[in-house]
Amino acid sequence: MTAPLIDILLATYNGSLFLREQIESLLGQDYPAFRILASDDGSSDGTAEVLADYAQRCPERVVLVPNPRPGRGALRNFEHLMATSLAQGWAQWFAFADQDDIWLPNKLSLSAARLHALEADGDGVDLPCLVHTDLCVVDAQRRIVHPSMARYEGLNPAAATPQSLLSVNEVTGCTLVGNRRLLELALPLPDAAIVHDWWCAVIAGSGRRAYIPRATVHYRQHDANQIGARNRRLWSRVRRALIDGAGVWQRVHQLGAQTWHQAVALQRRLRERGLDDGYVAAYLRWRALPRLVRLADYRRYYTGPELDRLSRWCLWRAFDIEPLPPGGR
C-alpha cells in the first residue's frame, strides 16, 4: 500500500536559534511520504533565510508558503498552513510542528500506523481522527528534564474524554497527526479558539482520538517558549502561588472564560456542519449549574492534579455567551 502523504505544518517566528536542528529532525523521518509546509510570521532574526535555504536545497521536501498577513500570531499562522494544505488537496493527513523541538525518527511512522487503524475501522475515514503522543521534556541544550511530559504535568491523556478535553487540553500540538476530515471541520479557526491544537482536539471529540504513551518528540524548554511544559506537583504549584498569587488567580479566571467561549464556538461549528453536539451541550449545561451541584462530578470534566481540579470547580462559571438552545442555530 502506498503511504499517504502527510503535510508537516511548520509555523515559525524568530526561531533561528533552534530551527535548523528541528528541520533536520523532520527531514530524518523514517516515514516515506511527507513534505514540510513552512510559513513565517514576519521574523527579524534570520528565520526566513533558514527556511529559504532548506527550500532551495530540498525542494521536494520543504515548501515555502508565503504569509500574506504576517504578525497575527501562531494561531493564525498555523491556520494559514492548514488552509493551504486543505486547498491543495495533495495530503491525506497533516501534522503540526513547532520550530524549536526535535522529532524522533519514528515519530510520523508510529502515528501514521495508529491513524490508519482509526480510519480503517468502519466509517473512520469520514470522521475527524486524531493521534497524539507523549513527549520527552528537555532543556535548551537537550538535557533531559523529564522523560514524560504527561507525568511531568500530572496528566493522563489516555483517560481523556471528549468532555474533559473541553476543560483541559491534553493533546500537545507538536505530536498531533490528523486526517483530512479533521482539517475540514476545524477550518476556519473561530476567534474563540484558544490555540490551534486545542481546537483540533475538541473537534476530534466528534470523531476518534488515540493516544500513544510513548515520547516521539523532544520538547525543548527555554526562555522563549510560547506555552511550555509546567511541573504541576504540589510543591511547584505552591511556589508559583507564593511568588505570583494574583497572576495565578487571574490566569485561572481567564482560562475559565476562554474554555466556555471555545465550547460555545464548537457547539456552533458542529451544528453548522450537521453533527451531533450532545457532548458539548451537556458540558455547557453542567458548567452553568450552581457550584455546589457541580461538586458531585467535577472530576469528570476537570482532569489533572487535584489542586487544578478544585480551582476550576471553585472559580469557573458560565459566562456571557449563551449556549445554543436544543436544535437551535
What CA–CA distance (Å, rounded) separates 28 from 42? Answer: 27
Last residue of a domain, one of 158, 185, 220: 220
Residue 263 within a domain: yes
197 and 308 within one domain: no
Query: Closest Cα to residue 80, out of 90, 89, 94, 69?
Result: 69
> pLDDT tens, 153-192?
999 999 999 999 999 999 999 999 999 999 999 999 999 9
By percentage, how much of the chain surpasses pLDDT 70? Answer: 88
The predicted structure's pLDDT at residue 235: 54
In a domain, 327, yes or no: no
Lowest average pLDDT, out of 50-64, 87-101, 285-299, goes to: 285-299
Q: Confidence band (pLDDT; 50, 70, 90) for 321?
A: low
Domain boundary among 178, 198, 220: 220
In a domain, 228, yes or no: no
Q: What CATH number did the domain enclosing 163 receive? A: 3.90.550.10
Domain check: are 102 and 240 in the same one? Answer: no
The number of beta carbons lying within 10 Å of the beta carbon of residue 278 is 13
Alpha carbon distance 208, 202 (integer Å):
11
- If one compares 138 and 244, the residue with the highest pLDDT of the two is 138
Three-state secondary structure call for residue 176: coil
- Inside any domain, residue 152: yes
What mean pLDDT comes out for the span 304-322? 79
What's the pLDDT band for 230 if we cut at 50, 70, 90?
A: low
Listed residues 165, 193, 220: the one ending a domain: 220
The per-residue pLDDT for 101 is 98
Is 329 a residue whose pLDDT tops 50? no
> Do residues 171 and 124 share a domain?
yes
Residues 187 and 241 in one domain: no
In a domain, 226, yes or no: no
Domain span including residue 32: 6-220
Provide the domain count of the chain.
2
> Do residues 210 and 264 both lie within one domain?
no
Q: Both 183 and 290 in a single domain?
A: no
Summarize pLDDT for 100-151 with one digit per residue, the tens.
Answer: 999 999 999 999 999 999 999 888 789 999 999 999 999 999 999 999 999 9
How do beta strands 34-40 and 208-220 pair?
A: unpaired
